[in-house]
């Protein structure tokens, strides 16, 4: 049987009841697979299996649970070529980046496995004679991991590894845009002999499988990465059961270039942070604020650097810097946003149009100048290789606009209901340490990168403020998002 199907209770299940979803290669536009759109019955079976498996799994010593996670990481490394090619074929990222995603994910699994010997509680002095109070960390139960398409493989590990090491079981739902790498993952998880039901995967669309999973009463934590509107829908569905949520949502990362910045470094780092994965990364540099004194020089150099960015079919032309956008919808969205920016007064300094090629959802590397902070292109997530630049008078101006993705809206009602008030990542380029520290304190973002490209580390904490999310991932704090605290009071002699 094809393994392009749900993995439930330790086996790939034959599915004769689901509708089908076609999967396409965004570079060739050819259909490459078909997958099931799992209905509520399939989700029920997966959640039941996870619930049954959880008590015995949580009783294993953490180091044994971590052993399975490390074994899967080993298998992943051995299959890096096929995994990277699969990701590239269904998502469109260049193969070198896909390899980085696969190996990075295996490294993250190893890192999270190290937490097995570091789970700690606390002993607290009591007000009563002969009493000991302690706080114990315990698993939450059954986790649902709902994934996006942009780093589909990495996100499996980011949710599964901490969940399993902490003693939870999990049901994963990959994005219907990029499911094939997840089926390969399930094969590897199967090979290491994980106890049945500890890891389950259901295939399907968001509005069917995803909605059934996030509103399921048997789920104790929904860990979701994706867009803001879907985050809201998931929180609503989870609220019915008072299920807790961990939400990693969209971003609109500002890159601030001050007059004393190392411009060579800023140009390189912002280009890298804008074109990686064809601009489809939550922490990508989405808008640039440059101080007036260096605006012309920075813009000249940046346009030249962006003009050297190459694109094409990542498999047929393996040396290109960027692949296509993930699908036709995303290409239309980017094209329309640039058009509206032009109508609002922005100038196209580079690109500004879809690529003239026979096939593939390609958009040219694009730089827009003369942007103002109130323009849609400076406020809403683009998710494409488009860099809008606005000139600011000083660092205060930059911080003000960076923090306010709503700038220009006068009605408070609109301000508070709009879904673009992002607070995920930000970056700053200056050689003045005092200024860097002052500006960073005032930036209302979960992450700030100073004088370097955007990109998080295993041991950091990746978390969005405002509408970019609730909770976070990675490091100690990300690990403990998968545990809860039990307080124990022992009265003794």
Stretch 379-398: interaction string toward ligand NAD, x if CB under 6 A = --x-----------------
Residue 481 beta carbon to ligand NAD: minimum distance, rounded to whole angstroms: 13
- Residues 101/448, Cβ–Cβ less than 8 Å: no
- Could you tell me how many residues of this chain bind ligand NAD (CB under 6 A)? 31
List 203, 214, 271, 430, residue binding ligand NAD (CB under 6 A): 214
368 binds ligand NAD (CB under 6 A): no
464 binds ligand NAD (CB under 6 A): yes
Stretch 410-449: interaction string toward ligand NAD, x if CB under 6 A = --------------x-------------------------
* Euclidean distance between CA atoms 480 and 256, whole angstroms: 32
Listed ranges 204-212, 358-366, 370-378, 426-434: which one lies at the site for ligand NAD (CB under 6 A): 204-212
Residue 180's nearest CA partner among 320, 5, 38 is 5
Residues 6+ apart with CB under 8 A from 308: none
Residue 480 beta carbon to ligand NAD: minimum distance, rounded to whole angstroms: 18
Single out the catalytic residue among 90, 248, 381, 481: 248
Listed ranges 145-153, 180-188, 264-272, 338-346: which one lies at the site for ligand NAD (CB under 6 A): 145-153
- Residues 149/227, Cβ–Cβ less than 8 Å: no
List 92, 145, 218, 250, residue binding ligand NAD (CB under 6 A): 250
Query: Residues 9, 12, 15, 18: what is their CA dihedral angle, to the nearest 10 degrees?
Result: 80
Residue 375 beta carbon to ligand NAD: minimum distance, rounded to whole angstroms: 19
**Of 211 and 436, CB closest to ligand NAD:** 211
145 binds ligand NAD (CB under 6 A): no
List 70, 99, 173, 467, residue binding ligand NAD (CB under 6 A): 173
List 15, 37, 110, 176, residue binding ligand NAD (CB under 6 A): 176
Listed ranges 220-228, 312-320, 361-369, 412-420: which one lies at the site for ligand NAD (CB under 6 A): 220-228
Continuous H helices in 39-128:
40-59, 62-78, 80-91, 95-113
10 Å Cβ neighbour count for 17? 11
- Residues 266/257, Cβ–Cβ less than 8 Å: yes
Listed ranges 78-86, 159-167, 243-251, 481-489: which one lies at the site for ligand NAD (CB under 6 A): 243-251
In sequence order, what DSSP letters do the residues of 186-214 get, joined into one string? HHHHHHTTPPTTSEEE----IIIIIHHHH
DSSP state of 14: P
282 among known catalytic residues: yes
Q: How many Cα atoms are found within 13 Å in the side-chain-facing hemisphere of 287?
A: 32
Residue 7 beta carbon to ligand NAD: minimum distance, rounded to whole angstroms: 16
List 84, 109, 172, 234, residue binding ligand NAD (CB under 6 A): 234
150 binds ligand NAD (CB under 6 A): yes
In the numeric block, which tokens belong to residue 233?
A: 């829908």
Residue 150 beta carbon to ligand NAD: minimum distance, rounded to whole angstroms: 5
66 binds ligand NAD (CB under 6 A): no
Q: Which residue is nearest to ligand NAD (CB)?
A: 206
331 binds ligand NAD (CB under 6 A): no
- Residues 26/91, Cβ–Cβ less than 8 Å: yes
Listed ranges 30-38, 168-176, 185-193, 365-373: which one lies at the site for ligand NAD (CB under 6 A): 168-176
Listed ranges 38-46, 183-191, 199-207, 298-306: which one lies at the site for ligand NAD (CB under 6 A): 199-207
Residue 452's nearest CA partner among 306, 285, 301 is 285
Single out the catalytic residue among 282, 284, 447, 456: 282
* Euclidean distance between CA atoms 293 and 309, whole angstroms: 26
DSSP-derived pairing of the beta strands 386-392 and 285-291:
parallel
Radius of gyration, alpha carbons of the chain: 23
- Residues 331/363, Cβ–Cβ less than 8 Å: yes
Residue 61 beta carbon to ligand NAD: minimum distance, rounded to whole angstroms: 31
DSSP-derived pairing of the beta strands 221-225 and 244-248:
parallel
393 among known catalytic residues: no
* Euclidean distance between CA atoms 246 and 478, whole angstroms: 10
**Of 173 and 305, CB closest to ligand NAD:** 173
DSSP-derived pairing of the beta strands 142-146 and 131-139:
unpaired
In the numeric block, which tokens belong to residue 307?
A: 């003009």
Summarize as ranges the residues that interact with ligand NAD (CB under 6 A): 146-151, 173, 175-176, 205-207, 210-211, 214, 225-227, 230, 233-234, 248-251, 282, 381, 424, 462, 464, 469
- Name the residues annotated as catalytic: 248, 282
């Amino acid at each position: 049987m094809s393994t392009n199907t749900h993995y439930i209770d330790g086996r790939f299940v034959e599915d004769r009841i689901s509708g089908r979803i076609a999967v396409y290669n965004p570079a060739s536009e050819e259909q490459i697979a078909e997958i099931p759109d799992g209905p509520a019955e399939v989700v029920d079976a997966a959640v039941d299996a996870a619930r049954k498996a959880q008590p015995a799994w949580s009783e294993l010593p953490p180091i044994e649970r971590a052993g399975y996670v490390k074994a899967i990481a080993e298998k992943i490394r051995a299959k890096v070529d096929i995994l990277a090619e699969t990701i590239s074929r269904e998502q469109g990222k260049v193969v070198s980046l896909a390899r980085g995603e696969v190996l990075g994910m295996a490294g993250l699994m190893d890192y999270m496995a190290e937490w097995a010997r570091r789970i700690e509680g606390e002993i607290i002095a009591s007000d009563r004679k002969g009493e000991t109070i302690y706080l114990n960390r315990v698993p939450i139960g059954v986790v649902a991991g709902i994934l996006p398409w942009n780093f589909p493989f990495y996100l499996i590990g980011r949710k599964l590894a901490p969940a399993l090491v902490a003693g939870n079981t999990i049901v994963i739902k990959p994005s219907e845009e990029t499911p094939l790498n997840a089926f390969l993952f399930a094969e590897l998880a199967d090979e290491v002999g994980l106890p049945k039901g500890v890891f389950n995967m259901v295939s399907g669309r968001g509005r069917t499988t995803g909605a059934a999973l996030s509103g399921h009463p048997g789920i104790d934590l929904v860990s979701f990465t994706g867009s803001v509107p879907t985050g809201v829908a998931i929180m609503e569905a989870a609220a019915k059961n008072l299920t807790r949520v961990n939400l990693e949502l969209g971003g609109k990362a500002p890159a601030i270039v001050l007059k004393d910045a190392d411009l060579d470094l800023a140009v390189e780092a912002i280009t890298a942070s804008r074109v990686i994965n064809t601009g489809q990364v939550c922490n990508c540099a989405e808008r640039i604020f440059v101080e007036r004194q260096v605006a012309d020089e920075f813009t000249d150099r940046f346009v030249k650097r962006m003009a050297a960015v190459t694109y094409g079919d990542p498999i047929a032309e393996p040396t290109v810097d960027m692949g296509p956008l993930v699908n036709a919808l995303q290409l239309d969205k980017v094209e329309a946003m640039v058009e509206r920016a032009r109508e609002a007064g922005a100038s196209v300094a580079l690109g500004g149009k879809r690529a003239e090629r026979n096939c593939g959802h390609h958009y040219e590397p694009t730089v827009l100048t003369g942007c103002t902070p109130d323009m849609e292109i400076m406020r809403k997530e683009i998710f494409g290789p488009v860099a809008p630049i606005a000139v600011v008078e000083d660092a205060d101006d930059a911080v003000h606009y960076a923090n306010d993705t709503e700038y220009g809206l006068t009605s408070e009602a609109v301000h508070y209901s709009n879904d673009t008030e992002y607070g995920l990542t930000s970056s700053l380029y200056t050689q003045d340490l005092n200024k860097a520290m002052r500006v960073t304190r005032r930036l209302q973002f979960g992450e700030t990168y100073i004088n370097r490209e955007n990109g998080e580390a295993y041991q950091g904490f990746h978390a969005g403020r405002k509408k970019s999310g609730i909770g976070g991932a990675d490091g100690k704090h990300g690990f403990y998002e998968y545990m809860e605290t039990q307080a124990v009071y022992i009265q003794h002699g």
